[in-house]
Amino acid sequence: MDSEVVNKRFSERLFEELGSFILLALILLSIVLQLRIFELIYNQILHSTNANVSLPGLYSAAFATDVFFWLRFSALLFFIYLLLFFISKKLSKVVFVAIVFIYLLLHLSLTLYFSQSLVPLGSDIYGYSIADIRQTVGASGHVSISIILFAIIFILAYIAAFYYIPKKVKLGRRFSFSVVVLSILTVTLSSFIVAPNPSAGSEYLNNLTLNKTDFFLSQSFRHFYPEDTETDIYADAYIGDFGDGAPPIANFEYIDEVHYPFLHKDNSPDVLSPFLKPTNQPPNIVILLVEGLGRAFTNDGAYLGNFTPFIDSLSSRSLYWDNFLSEAGRTFAVLPSVLGSLPFLKTGFSEMGEEMPQHLSLVSLLKSNGYETSFYYGGDSEFDNMEMFLKKSNIDKVNDQRAFEGNYVRMPKSENGFSWGYGDKELFRKYFDTKELEPKKPYLDVVLTVSTHTPFLINEQEEYLNRFEARMNQLGFDEGKKDQYRDYKYQFASILFTDDAIKGFINSYSKRADFNNTIFFITGDHRMPEIPMISKIDRYHVPFLIYSPLLTRAAKFSSISTHFDITPSILAYLKRNHRLELPSLVSWIGSGLDTSRSLVNSHAYPLLQTKTELVDFISGDNLLNSGQLFKLKQGLRSSAITDEPRVASLQHSFDEFKKKNQSVVDGAPLLPDSILQRYLPK
């Protein structure tokens, strides 16, 4: 048999197998699109879509992202299929079906995760230990039997489809060849192709349209193979970047950036003294960190409505910032940010564990000045390495769920048998049970709540579900709006529960003798993501208030500050008024609270979305998110804008922070030993 005949037969066989592959790929496309229909309908049932949203636009955007993913995925599968085809025709099909089976399991899992958390799972999973993941999954609730049965039937049906359909259907050569070429071109030109987003103005809906597997895989790839985005900080293009009429950026006088990237002179202004009565004794400091407390449902102007009546009433008697930001989208960063104004390092400062760089914090500095220091939490303080961080800050006492002996009542268990620990009312009861009636020293107490956390199961559940219904009536909701909010009734009930618990906490405190010399700092650790968010900044937008009998007047500030600014301002106030012995050189990221009444921002800070997604940077009235620029307005409403010079300017500042941050990850110290030894025990 001559070579021409052999080549012809091989070519015919190859085109025949090409047709078989494309048929399998089209079955895969059917799977992808039907999974999308399931996801959209399932989320519509769980989370009512805004009536103003164009459903055709939403569906078309969702389908477009799926087709885009399918084309790129098919190109990869084609090369695997073709390679194995030369080894074994049967093997190529078996491997194809196996890969699709894994895709089905992964995609269904990611879809269900998003439906519960309302944020897509990305590379943040790699920032958690196995124990943390087990605890988080335990708290996530129960997947219904109907969903499990659907998944089993769906998978079995498509395994059957892969087996039977290729025997019945044959595709033409031109069509098959065209699909392969289109897939390869899609991969080649992927950087120039952007799938459309719905013009819904909602972060939740934009996330809904994402292909969850595509998002997870691309985020995972970037995590393990990050792009080199380092910029030349001496480039002429950056000279004068901040001289464009934007609000001034706070500058530090750095001492030795090569050896100590964040070390600078402490020039934080004392902005609190004008609002507080002078005292002979240093005041007690109580910092209340409220799980999931977002500005979206707190105080006047809350776009979801006001579901924290007590906190709101307290705000009117406090120093209150309505455009305040957390430094991260999850709880893991709240202690290092609030208490230490510390950099994020690789996946959050505390995640370094035993390798955590030596540092100073509000805890260690106040303890060195005679304060008693304590932490209170109703859950497990080993989660997110909180206990380790606090002990490295030389805290006196950590009170977590292990300390709740006796007649304290745990929160109800989820269907998985999991409970976070003790709810906020029990937490505050424990707090007062441990406090001396007449403390001999001033104290710093840090309290972290837990009731407003997934799965939002609280004691007195029925009582607060009824309170939720009553609150909607008080807010004047019509029946249509009430039906939408009932999708999140457990979330809102838990918010009302925690608001009541805080009311009881403050009322009980007011009966203590030390109340008159105590300053309360209250903020959210981040905005609860399990109620749909409308923007990128929404995840960080939290209330912040300072309440005390020592206040001479209440005030509302619309300037932007963050968790990074709390410790520098507390210490500046105590240093000026009570002669605390504090270092002149510090490594705070924050420069202190801004007490301007208008919407201004004198800070330039990074924001860490998840443990592995350092993608946000705020400067002036702009937010940079993954290279996209947003303009911030009153209430921190945001709109996307185009301004390439401003993007370059912010990206330069962002990259400069990342460079310093990486230096510490690589071993650069935060502070000289001479300072550390003075304020930390030997």
pLDDT of 439-477, one tens digit each? 999 999 999 999 999 899 999 999 999 999 999 999 999
Query: In angstroms, how far is CA 578 from the centroid of its own chain?
Result: 37
The pTM for the full model equals: 0.88
* Cβ atoms 235, 511 nearer than 8 A: no
**pLDDT tens for each residue of 558-591:** 999 999 999 999 999 999 999 999 999 999 999 9
Length of the chain: 682
Please report, as a single letter, which amino acid is at residue 75: A
Identify which has the larger pLDDT, 143 or 401: 401
Q: Does the pLDDT at position 622 exceed 80?
A: yes
Nearest partner of 566 among 226, 336, 236, judged by Cα: 336
Phi then psi dihedrals of residue 140, to 5 deg: -75, -10
* DSSP assignment letter at 558: -
The answer for 202, left when phi > 0, alpha when psi is -120 to 50, beta otherwise, is beta
pLDDT of residue 233: 37
Largest CA distance in the chain: 106
| Confidence band of 81 (pLDDT split at 50, 70, 90) | confident
- Which CATH number, 3.30.9.40, 3.50.30.10, 3.40.640.10, 3.40.720.10, labels domain 264-598? 3.40.720.10
In angstroms, the CA 365 to CA 395 distance is: 10
Helices 3-46 and 89-117 pack at an angle, to 10 degrees, of 20
| Confidence band of 169 (pLDDT split at 50, 70, 90) | low
Label the pairing between strands 541-547 and 319-325.
antiparallel
What whole-number percentage of the chain has pLDDT above 70? 85
In angstroms, the CA 67 to CA 81 distance is: 20
In angstroms, the CA 333 to CA 355 distance is: 16
End-to-end Cα distance, the chain: 87
Nearest partner of 286 among 197, 174, 374, 217, judged by Cα: 374
Q: Does the pLDDT at position 624 exceed 80?
A: yes
Tally of CB atoms within 10 A around 144: 11
| Confidence band of 682 (pLDDT split at 50, 70, 90) | low
Q: Does the pLDDT at position 3 exceed 70?
A: no
Extents of the domains making up the chain:
3-224, 264-598
In angstroms, the CA 103 to CA 267 distance is: 54
Q: What is the mean pLDDT of residues 20-37?
A: 84
Tally of CB atoms within 10 A around 52: 8
* Cβ atoms 366, 601 nearer than 8 A: no
Nearest partner of 465 among 450, 434, 486, judged by Cα: 486
Please report, as a single letter, which amino acid is at residue 617: F
**pLDDT tens for each residue of 267-296:** 999 999 999 999 999 999 999 999 999 999
With a CB cutoff of 8 Å and minimum separation 6, the contacts of 648 are 237, 238, 241
**pLDDT tens for each residue of 513-536:** 999 999 999 999 999 999 999 999
**pLDDT tens for each residue of 82-115:** 788 777 878 888 888 888 888 888 998 899 888 8
pLDDT of residue 316: 96
